Amino acid sequence: MSDSANPLSDIKLKEAIMGKKMKKHNSMISTEARDAWLMMAPALIILLIVAVYPIIRSFWLSLHEMILTDPGSGYPFIGLKNYIKIFQDRKAVNSIIFTLKFTITTVSLELLIGFAAALIMNKAFRGKGLVRAAILIPWAIPTTVSALMWKFIYNDQYGLFNDVLYRLGVIDSYKAWLSTSDGSFMALVITDVWKTAPYMALLILAGLQMVSESLYESAKIDGAGVVKRFYYITLPMVKNTVIVALLFRTLDAFRVFDLISVMTGGANKTESIAIYSYKNLMKFLDFGYGSALAVLIFIVVFIISLIYMKVLGDKLTDMEG
């Protein structure tokens, strides 16, 4: 019997051909992976230089007593003493409490206002494009410029805020809003919400655009009212977008610096943890303690990111299931 008629020979030939194809395929994958790493290498190197190295360096400095006004100390290694000091430092604790209070208040208001604005902009009406463009103007203005503008608005002599409240009969005389703790906190919250609520609205609007109108029409036919349609259709469809928006805004709010620096400078119990860290680093030249505060901000931000991503990951898994 000839080899050409042998079934075993045909099987071996097919296996050899398949083996060559698999080797070629694996080789192509390996080459593509190598090329991908080569293309990403410049970006990864830059990321290591501008992001990873400063974090590692800050952590290393935080383990030392490094006060530049006392170079004779030799900058000794003190371990975690700077971190223990944070929770023994009343100013540091107050700055953390203020930052958490500011973050929770502003992000909550921005979510409510942003959601309402997104629902309005998602409706069909004349001039919708103009409204969408106009509502983004506050977000497009640099934070420092916004803070300086609102600082003039809150001025106790010629500020627009006092003038409006006085004309409406809310106040009897002009007030120095930025000279008290409650007034300063209110002013900072209003300014931050005015500036960043449009950003929240933009992200939520993107999620609303993906909701099919047929779902609402079917719900109407079934007799669902506005509240039920919002609760059972709108919220479930945009919840992942909302989580992403909350993540971005929470991280920004917790790291707030420029807004407070321009408007109050941290006075009247409005010193955020970022402001307090900056003062220790640049004003008091205490690089060890200042670095510990900076690392603490990084740790908290990292934990917040993990929590949000865990929630978002679980939601996505539920949707896929």
Sorted by sequence, the CB contacts under 8 Å of residue 227 that are 6+ apart come out as none
| Burial (CB count <10 Å: 0-12, 13-18, 19+), residue 149 | middle
pLDDT number for residue 321: 46
Instruction: Count Cβ atoms below 10 Å from residue 159 Cβ, excluding itself.
Output: 20
Longest alpha-carbon distance in the chain? 114
pLDDT number for residue 18: 65
pLDDT number for residue 73: 76
pLDDT number for residue 5: 52
- Stretches in the chain below the pLDDT threshold 50: 1-3, 316-317, 319-321
Q: Where are the alpha helices (DSSP H) in 209-286?
A: 213-221, 226-229, 235-254, 258-263, 273-278
pLDDT number for residue 214: 79
Instruction: Count Cβ atoms below 10 Å from residue 232 Cβ, excluding itself.
Output: 13
Tell me the pTM: 0.82
Exposure string of 186-220, with b = 16+ CB inside 10 Å and e = fewer, is: ebbbbbbbbbbbbbbbbbbbebbeeeeeeebeebe
pLDDT number for residue 39: 86
pLDDT number for residue 84: 95
pLDDT number for residue 230: 81
pLDDT number for residue 7: 60
pLDDT number for residue 315: 54
- Contact indicator for 177, 187 with CB cutoff of 8 Å: yes
pLDDT number for residue 1: 45
pLDDT number for residue 67: 87
pLDDT number for residue 102: 96
pLDDT number for residue 83: 94
